[in-house]
Amino acid sequence: MLKLHNLSKTYQTDEVETIALNSVNIEIEQGEFVAIMGPSGCGKSTLLNIIGMLDTPTGGEYHFMDEEISGYSEAQLGHIRKHNIGFIFQSFNLIDELSVEENIELALLYHNIPASERKERVAKVMDKVGIAHRAKHMPSQLSGGQQQRVAVARAVVGDQAMILADEPTGNLDSAHGQEVMEMLQALNDEGTTIVMVTHSPSHADYARRTINLFDGHVVTENVRAAE
C-alpha cells in the first residue's frame, strides 16, 4: 500500500537544523495493523504526518498506491488524502458547535455525495461505533470515550482504505482506551489498514507489527506471532 525509501525530514531555522527523520525505510501492506513506538521527540508524529500527507519529506521517496508522491503539490496530496486516509487524533478535534452526526457528516461534504446518502452513511457508522443514541448531542455533552468514538466514526465514514491514529487513547482512561483499541482492531479485521502512534506497549500489542523509532531512525521491527 505504501513504501518509504530513504525518507528524511529536516526542519531548518536561522540558527539550528533539526533532523526529525533520517533514512527511514518502511513498507506497509494493505490490511496491516502497524504500531509506531519510541520516546518523545524520536520522529513518530512527523512520520505519521508524512504518511498522512499533512507534511512533506525533505528527501527520499514516498510511494502510495504505486504512485511516487514525494514531489506532489499540496493540491495533489489533498486529493489523494481525502479519498484514501482517515485521521484519529489524541485531542479528538471535534467542532464544538456541531452535533455528533454533523461532526461525522462533515467528513463527507467534500466528496460530492448526495445528502440522502450522507445521512445513511452517518447513521450506519454511528450505529457501528455505538454512538447513535448521542446523534443530536454536542461534543461538550459527551465523555472523552464517547468523543473518541465520534472521531473514529468520522475517520471511517468515507470508507477510507487507511486510518492513521496519533495516540488515540492518550486522553482516555484505561477502560475507554481499551474500547477504542477494540474498535480499531475490528476495523482492521474488516480490511482497513491501521497505522497507529502509541506510547502504550499493551495497545501496541493489538497491532500485527511494531516499528520502533529512535532519533529519527527505525531501530527495530517486531512482528507479533499469529494467534
pLDDT digits (tens, 9 = 90+) for 113-145: 889 999 999 999 999 888 999 999 999 999 888
List own/partner pairs for 155-158 with CB under 8 A and 24 or more apart: 155/86, 155/87, 155/88, 155/107, 156/86, 156/125, 156/128, 156/187, 156/192, 157/104, 157/105, 157/107, 157/108, 157/121, 157/122, 157/125, 158/82, 158/83, 158/86, 158/107, 158/108, 158/111
Dump the DSSP string for 128-195.
HTT-GGGTT--GGGS-HHHHHHHHHHHHHTT--SEEEEESTTTTS-HHHHHHHHHHHHHHHHTT-EEE
Give the pLDDT score at 226. Answer: 64
Q: What is the pLDDT of residues 172-200, one digit of tens each?
A: 888 888 888 988 998 999 999 999 999 89
Give the pLDDT score at 227. Answer: 59
This prediction has a pTM of 0.89
As a whole number of angstroms, the distance between CA 94 and CA 153 comes to 11
For Cα atoms 72, 77, 81, give the angle at the middle one, nearest 5 degrees.
155
Give the pLDDT score at 177. Answer: 84
Residues in the chain with pLDDT values less than 50: none
